[in-house]
Amino acid sequence: MKFLDQAKVHIRSGDGGAGSVSFRREKFIEFGGPDGGDGGRGGDVWAEAVNGLNTLIDYRYQQHFKAKTGVHGMGRNLTGAKGADVVLKVPAGTQIFEDDNETLICDLTEPGQRYLLAKGGNGGFGNQHFKTSTNQAPRRANPGLPGVEKSIWLRLKLIADAGLVGLPNAGKSTFLATVTAAKPKIADYPFTTLHPGLGVARIDAREFVIADIPGLIEGAHEGIGIGDRFLGHVERTRVLLHLVSAQEEHPGKVYKTVRGELEAYGNGLAEKPEIVALSQVDTLDADERKKKLAALKRACGTTPFLLSAVTREGVEAVLRALMAVVEEARALASPKTGEDEDRWKV
């Protein structure tokens, strides 16, 4: 299945059904009077977060969604039925924006959450509503109100506990493949990862979700390389794992480059807890390790982890450090209180 994290769709709620003009005419009933029923309300357009989806690929092949028109009213005071609704099923973590792609309509972060995107038009009144003492046989009825038509943007931001950031070929995909059951593409050239990936890591009988995004390069916030489009997938994470390749000649400079891109992107990424690791250390001898570890330590201000996903050196230590931050954040935040309160709002 292809990964698609943004799609534009066109929606229209159903028109209301028209009211009926009808009169009761029965044998032995002298004064029947008007009995035209009301029209039914048009169908609504809803968005619903569901389990089992992790991409918006369905909306590449269908972009137009229209709810059904309400059934027209009929005689004998019969009200028309409501038109059928349309439900856009999206992955948890989907944000919905207006046509300008900036005005947020809703943020569906939990399976089962629903949001009314477009309400169907009300049905028209039948002629029974217009009966008065001076007009006992009205021959008019209201048409149904039209539905709402507009274009919206769907934007998916993956929900994960930890996010992987770093330059291309920093070992992010190899780390994800080592600690989870995910099978990302791994190769010895830059930008191997073209789409974000998710995996579930397990350490000490506890689990958390890791998100991997394509590598960042200098100027990514201005659209250079793949750009910063995929940084949105680590906005919801509780901690970042910043990998710096041991094959870099100046690891401290590389670290500052990526940090600069996170700060330029904004949205709170630069303020998230960060764990730094010098990856691919299996390619260095002891002296080079010390030298590059010291350079990276001066740049980040903390002691980085030594990590090799190939030989699994330092893997468990990094996972435990990530798990500690994740558990602390889970303890402080709850579905209704804490710093994650906004994530549960519809």
| Bind-site residues | 166-173, 191-195, 212-215, 279-282, 308-310
How far is C-alpha 227 from the geometric centre of its chain's CA atoms? Answer: 19
Residue type for 36, please? G
Nearest to 214 by CA among 253, 170, 178, 254: 170
Does residue 154 contact residue 7 with C-beta atoms inside 8 Å? yes
Residue reference for tokens 């791994």: 186
The alpha carbons of the chain give a radius of gyration, in whole angstroms, of 29
Q: Any idea what DSSP says for residue 334?
A: -
Evaluate whether 32 touches 24 at the Cβ level (below 8 Å).
yes
Eight-class DSSP state of 314: T
Which residues belong to the annotated binding site for Mg(2+)?
173, 193
For residues 278 and 337, give the distance between their C-alpha atoms in angstroms, rounded to a whole number: 36
CA angle at residue 14 from 114 to 71, to 5 degrees? 120
Tell me the DSSP string of 27-66.
TT-S---B-PPPPPPPPPEEEEEETT----THHHH--EEE
C-beta of residue 143 within 8 angstroms of C-beta of residue 36: no
Annotated binding-site residue numbers for GTP: 166-173, 191-195, 212-215, 279-282, 308-310
Output the six-digit token pair for 306.
């030594």
